[in-house]
Chain A
């Protein structure tokens, strides 16, 4: 579904993503793991059109979409749930959700949007209870749910999820990841960026490890979970914990 080839991204003269290639097949959950500043969010932002890459190709369903505007990419089927949620705080939950379907305003699509809203509210019943509430007054977990729900309102083929567990209590993290799995089971393809590598590798099919803007390792989620280097660097298992097990 998504193929990235030799992508370079710069902030001014500073190279942040240095020749990255990766792919996501239809129906997969693929995660990107790496330390702060490795280039994970920058990469997602380039896929969703928020940043224009300096060089390289982003093929979505066989078409190079690198450099297209975000709204064009949403129309093609790529939708992002951004890091730090970035919901419209002053608006209600309902308004936020409708903005997610901003590009689906035609008469023909209205019925579909209503059906999607219904489905999404079944997926996130907490949001249904708070439809008229101002989004900024929601709890962190609820805001995250709203950010994902808003992205889903565009009916994407590929969902880009940036740090969905950031700042959430463990129980809420479980709930969010369970929802991600449900979405994938319904056929949604997901590219996930996550600091919580343990959780990400639990639900993903495959993963890529990024170090200072480059991919240094990739493999099935199971392989990465078993990898000593990944365990030490990203899964919080240092030498002593590995040897004590």
Chain B
């Protein structure tokens, strides 16, 4: 049979601007038609503003639609954001970021196929081949991201070492023994790992590692240069959010002029933080994502909280997909530590629950050999400290274990005098980077 023009997935990233316009209009119209009839949150929000689905004539009409926040997702936990019956959902990811209730994200078989397709697209652009050995070194809080990438790498035929809660020493042993060629990790952990390898008596030159796929955090240019020049490791950065599109939502091509967004699956916008004003391409603001192909959890104008810029001009690589610049900051209460998002307000509630009373504390994000870690400095007030040191140590041990379980990342709890943290408490600063 004669193959239609531009039918394959490989060519979609090179579509003409006119084709993107048509595709966006079609997919946005069907998405809005679906959410209006199937997701009560959107129907209510649209009716409140007097909006009917028929007003969407192109992607330019997005601005008329309501926003979705993480809080909306949490408020509608567990089922109310699903646009398909529960029996059509084959996977659920639960995220707990900073809100009292967790978020539940559902995926149909087709959603999973799309995510795997995006992972394959990204890994193919990184030139991952069946002969590659792909090792994942990610914190439990990022393990969900690893899931799609690992499936994509397996589909390409590569040997995959999935994320395990192993010590750094054990990970290095595997890296050396199994001759890992590609590592998937965060930039900060990679720096830490490369510093630790020689300490274990393993010469860096003996490793087969030649490619690092860096997720969870932005990759600084200086670090990339260092990795490539000093260690001979090609560093490739990807951006993703679990709520919309998954971990391979945007990725770098060989030109490294921003990250190509999968605009056949989502439409990105840039909005002024704290307001509803849409900013023109090129200006920095909050990234807002509308899904176009999600079946179980279609999201309209989801506020990511990430600050970036959008570039709509075609890239020198030939791809016409829009690009975003690396995310440098956030505009909400979330803190990114080794790619894991933590909410200071939830941490506050966590300690209040653990201590059965309100505590004075400060979250300290430390940077040791490039690797971020979290410490919580708790003021030992007279109401909290009963005078028994063993009791205090016991409480700290229990709280540290509970913290890791709840937030997916370890922390050290340090009892301190009120005076030590008073300077930050007095200015209302909850998070301190040291």
Interface size on A, residues (CB 8 A): 32
| Residue A187, interface by CB 8 Å | yes
**Cα–Cα distance between A227 and B111 once the two chains are bound (Å):** 10
Q: Closest CB of chain A to B14's CB: distance in Å?
A: 15
Q: Closest CB of chain A to B63's CB: distance in Å?
A: 17
* Count class of interface residues, chain B: 20 to 34
Query: Could you tell me if B2 and A215 are in contact, using CB atoms closer than 8 angstroms?
Result: no
Query: Could you tell me if B88 and A21 are in contact, using CB atoms closer than 8 angstroms?
Result: no
Residues in B whose Cβ lies below 8 Å from that of A19 = 29, 53-54, 56-57
Which residue in B5, B6, B26, B34 is a CB contact (below 8 Å) of A21?
B26
Counted as pairs of residues, one from A and one from B, with CB atoms less than 8 Å apart, the total is: 80
Which residues of B16-36 are within 8 A (CB) of A? 22, 25-27, 29-30, 33-34
Query: Could you tell me if A215 and B30 are in contact, using CB atoms closer than 8 angstroms?
Result: yes
Which residue in A8, A27, A218 is a CB contact (below 8 Å) of B4?
A27
Per-residue interface assignment for chain A, residues 64 to 96, with 1 indicating a CB less than 8 Å from any chain B CB and 0 otherwise:
000000000000000000000000000000000
Query: Could you tell me if B4 and A28 are in contact, using CB atoms closer than 8 angstroms?
Result: yes
**Cα–Cα distance between A182 and B4 once the two chains are bound (Å):** 15
| Residue A166, interface by CB 8 Å | no
If A19-B57, A187-B2, A229-B84 touch, whether A215 touches B29 (CB-CB below 8 Å) is yes
| Residue A132, interface by CB 8 Å | no
**Cα–Cα distance between A223 and B108 once the two chains are bound (Å):** 11
| Residue A22, interface by CB 8 Å | yes
| Residue B101, interface by CB 8 Å | no
**Cα–Cα distance between A187 and B4 once the two chains are bound (Å):** 9
Residues in A whose Cβ lies below 8 Å from that of B110 = 219, 223, 226-227
- For A20, give the chain B residue with the smallest CB separation: B29
Query: Could you tell me if A25 and B7 are in contact, using CB atoms closer than 8 angstroms?
Result: yes
| Residue B275, interface by CB 8 Å | no
| Residue B87, interface by CB 8 Å | yes
Query: Could you tell me if A21 and B25 are in contact, using CB atoms closer than 8 angstroms?
Result: yes
Residues in B whose Cβ lies below 8 Å from that of A239 = 87
Query: Could you tell me if B88 and A215 are in contact, using CB atoms closer than 8 angstroms?
Result: no
- For B2, give the chain A residue with the smallest CB separation: A27
Query: Could you tell me if B88 and A228 are in contact, using CB atoms closer than 8 angstroms?
Result: yes
Query: Could you tell me if A184 and B26 are in contact, using CB atoms closer than 8 angstroms?
Result: no
Per-residue interface assignment for chain A, residues 217 to 242, with 1 indicating a CB less than 8 Å from any chain B CB and 0 otherwise:
11100010011110000000001000
| Residue B1, interface by CB 8 Å | yes
Q: Closest CB of chain A to B51's CB: distance in Å?
A: 13
| Residue B295, interface by CB 8 Å | yes
| Residue B109, interface by CB 8 Å | yes
**Cα–Cα distance between A16 and B88 once the two chains are bound (Å):** 30
Per-residue interface assignment for chain B, residues 35 to 53, with 1 indicating a CB less than 8 Å from any chain A CB and 0 otherwise:
0010000000000000001
| Residue A104, interface by CB 8 Å | no
Residues in B whose Cβ lies below 8 Å from that of A181 = 1
Which residue in B29, B34, B84, B113 is a CB contact (below 8 Å) of A228?
B84
| Residue B3, interface by CB 8 Å | yes
**Cα–Cα distance between A23 and B54 once the two chains are bound (Å):** 18
| Residue A137, interface by CB 8 Å | no
Residues in B whose Cβ lies below 8 Å from that of A175 = none
**Cα–Cα distance between A182 and B21 once the two chains are bound (Å):** 32
Which residues of B293-315 are within 8 A (CB) of A? 293, 295
Query: Could you tell me if B27 and A217 are in contact, using CB atoms closer than 8 angstroms?
Result: no
**Cα–Cα distance between A187 and B270 once the two chains are bound (Å):** 43
Residues in B whose Cβ lies below 8 Å from that of A5 = 22, 25, 57
Q: Closest CB of chain B to A146's CB: distance in Å?
A: 25
Residues in B whose Cβ lies below 8 Å from that of A36 = none
| Residue A185, interface by CB 8 Å | yes
Residues in A whose Cβ lies below 8 Å from that of B54 = 8, 18-19, 214
**Cα–Cα distance between A177 and B10 once the two chains are bound (Å):** 29
Residue from A21, A25, A211 having most chain B Cβ neighbours under 10 A:
A21
Residues in A whose Cβ lies below 8 Å from that of B3 = 27
**Cα–Cα distance between A6 and B4 once the two chains are bound (Å):** 24
Q: Closest CB of chain A to B147's CB: distance in Å?
A: 21
Q: Closest CB of chain B to A32's CB: distance in Å?
A: 13
Residues in B whose Cβ lies below 8 Å from that of A22 = 26
**Cα–Cα distance between A227 and B30 once the two chains are bound (Å):** 15
Interface residues of B (CB under 8 A from A): 1-7, 22, 25-27, 29-30, 33-34, 37, 53-54, 56-58, 84-85, 87-88, 108-110, 113, 293, 295
Interface residues of A (CB under 8 A from B): 3, 5-6, 8, 18-23, 25-28, 181, 184-185, 187, 205, 211, 214-219, 223, 226-229, 239
Q: A23-B22, A185-B2, A227-B108 are in contact. List 8 more A-B contacts (CB 8 A).
A: A25-B4, A25-B7, A27-B2, A214-B53, A215-B26, A217-B34, A218-B26, A223-B113
A–B complex contacts, Cβ < 8 Å, 27 sampled: A5-B25, A19-B29, A19-B56, A20-B29, A21-B22, A25-B7, A26-B4, A26-B5, A27-B5, A28-B4, A184-B2, A185-B2, A187-B2, A205-B4, A205-B7, A211-B33, A214-B29, A214-B53, A216-B34, A216-B37, A217-B30, A218-B27, A218-B30, A223-B110, A227-B108, A227-B295, A228-B85
